[in-house]
Structure 1
Amino acid sequence: MDKVHGEKNIVFIGMAGCGKSTIGVLIAQALDMAFIDTDHIMEHKFGKRLWQILEDNGSKEFIIQESVVICSLDCTNSVISTGGSAVYSDKAMSFLKQNADILFIDLSYPNIKKRLENTDIQSRGIVIDQGKTMLDVYNERNGLYRKYADYTIDANDKSIEELVTEITGIFTGSTIDVKEAN
């Protein structure tokens, strides 16, 4: 397939459990692009799982290091899945915006909760300040995701295949029902 997106990157943002990495891999394959997961880069850099990095360094330092990882990316024609907390760094998001279309995978809180119900939240490495709940984090981040998104993709009641078709359509010119975020 020809490079339908040129040299620009495609960046996925959204809450843990929304499908950024799963969808990202499939979009990269469909559009013949490289795939990068910033969570995996963080783990490789520190030689630890995300939760260990978070536990050892605290949420503020974690966000700083996540920003450093993102701002060190030197890639084009790539699909990038970010950690859910990437939106806490204006520097990181501004860096990504320079050469990417940013897509927010919007999944309702009840659906996020359902997807994560059999998961130990701590083991996911989710940045949650002491005293806050996942709902607090969801509400806090939702506005940030919308602020940075070029496109908001409603992932509720859609299969992975439907989402891949919808998102691929943005970059191949297919007619789809997508909300531009502005």
Structure 2
Amino acid sequence: MNNLILIGMMGCGKSTVGRLAAEKLGLAFVDTDERIEAEAGRTIPELFDAEGEEGFRARELDVSRALAREGGLVIACGGGLPTRAEAIAALKASGVVFWLNREPAVIYDTVSMAHRPLGQGGKEAFLERFRQREPIYRRWADYIIEGHAQAAEAVGRIAALYERECQA
């Protein structure tokens, strides 16, 4: 199927890098959070308020399974998607997983958390969430792209690795 899947903490640049990578590779771009919002007709914060995190994760699983059946996509996953093994396993079976590993303290200090439900607990809670997710991201990633790279540099590295995987 050859999808290119991006994982990492909220605010690490998955959507930005994903859009640029899709353009460079001639693939379609999908953000799982945007797909969920479009299908639900509500924002992520509204879904969290109405359905809780479990309800949101169920929607995320459905979207992951649907996207895994498609090919030729660059998929930017919500930060918590890999915590649901079924969701990330479905996507991984359809392509190559890249973890955008950006320093969590830098993310928190530079990205607005106002519209991010799981970013509301303050910096320590955000850093703790990263500590919990780091081994999960590491487990599912085929490649780790360290966050010190600029978006254009990250896209170049991702594109080269993706193309190599597609030829293998």
TM-score by length of 2: 0.89
> Any stretches of 5+ residues in structure 2 without a counterpart?
none
Cross-structure match for 2:130: 138
Q: Which has the higher contact order (CA 8 A, sep 6+)?
A: 2
Q: Once the 2 structures are TM-superposed, how far is the Cα of residue 126 of structure 1 from its aligned partner?
A: 3.0
Q: Once the 2 structures are TM-superposed, how far is the Cα of residue 167 of structure 1 from its aligned partner?
A: 1.3
CA RMSD in angstroms, aligned pairs only: 1.8
Alignment equivalent of 1:34, drawn from 28, 45, 52:
28
The 3 A distance-change label for structure 1 pair 81 and 15 is: same
Matched, 1:164 2:155: yes
The 3 A distance-change label for structure 1 pair 128 and 69 is: farther
Matched, 1:44 2:60: no
The 3 A distance-change label for structure 1 pair 44 and 149 is: same
Query: Quick one: distance in 2 between partners of 1:90 and 1:44?
Result: 23
Cross-structure match for 1:180: none
Q: Is the 8 A contact 1:86 1:93 kept in 2?
A: yes
The 3 A distance-change label for structure 1 pair 108 and 12 is: same
The amino acid of 1:141's aligned partner reads R
Matched, 1:107 2:107: no
Cross-structure match for 2:55: 61
Matched, 1:84 2:76: no
The amino acid of 1:150's aligned partner reads D
Post-superposition CA distance 1:110-132 (Å, at most 9, x none): 2111222x431xx1233789xx8
Cross-structure match for 1:147: 139
The amino acid of 1:100's aligned partner reads G
The amino acid of 1:11's aligned partner reads I
Q: Is the 8 A contact 2:113 2:119 kept in 1?
A: no
Q: How many residues align?
A: 161
Query: Quick one: distance in 2 between partners of 1:128 and 1:145?
Result: 22
Q: Is the 8 A contact 1:24 1:35 kept in 2?
A: yes
Cross-structure match for 2:93: 98
Query: Quick one: distance in 1 between partners of 2:119 and 2:52?
Result: 9
Q: Once the 2 structures are TM-superposed, how far is the Cα of residue 77 of structure 1 from its aligned partner?
A: 1.1
Q: Is the 8 A contact 1:64 1:89 kept in 2?
A: no
Q: Identity rate of aligned residues, in percent? A: 29
Runs of 4+ residues deviating >6 angstroms: none
Residue 133 of structure 1 aligns to a residue whose secondary structure is: helix
Query: Quick one: distance in 2 between partners of 1:62 and 1:77?
Result: 25
Q: Once the 2 structures are TM-superposed, how far is the Cα of residue 136 of structure 1 from its aligned partner?
A: 1.4
> Any stretches of 5+ residues in structure 1 without a counterpart?
1-6, 174-182
